[in-house]
Amino acid sequence: MADETREPKLAEAIAEESRRVRRLQLAVRLVMNVISQGNLSFDEASQMVAATRRVALALFPDKEGVYDLLYQPRLQRLLAQKYRLQ
């Protein structure tokens, strides 16, 4: 009986995690598109990257290291390409 009640809760937790992952992926894609296609100053683009990090940490408070491994390098590369940073 315990397995019967645990299974729906597990499925619900997995579905919620998937929703949060999709939200973060969407936020990162939107920020990358705005930066690459927009006419933002470097400071504005940097603020958007910082805001993306805050969103990620709000969605996944205990996963800062994962964000730093997956998304931060991608966003930093985009800033370097767009603003010709060395």
Tens of pLDDT, residue by residue over 1-47, are: 456 678 889 999 999 999 999 999 999 999 999 999 999 999 999 99
Amino acid at 86: Q
User: Residue 86: which pLDDT band, with cuts at 50, 70 and 90?
Assistant: low
The DSSP code for 72 is: H
* Distance, CA of 78 to CA of 48 (rounded, Å): 12
Tens of pLDDT, residue by residue over 62-77, are: 999 999 999 999 999 9
CB 48 within 8 A of CB 35: yes
Q: State both tokens at 53.
A: 């990090």
- Go through the chain and tell me how many residues it has: 86
Q: What share of the chain is helix, strand, coil (3-state, %, to 5)?
A: 85, 0, 15
In 3D space, the residue among 78, 75, 69 whose CA is nearest the CA of residue 28 turns out to be: 75
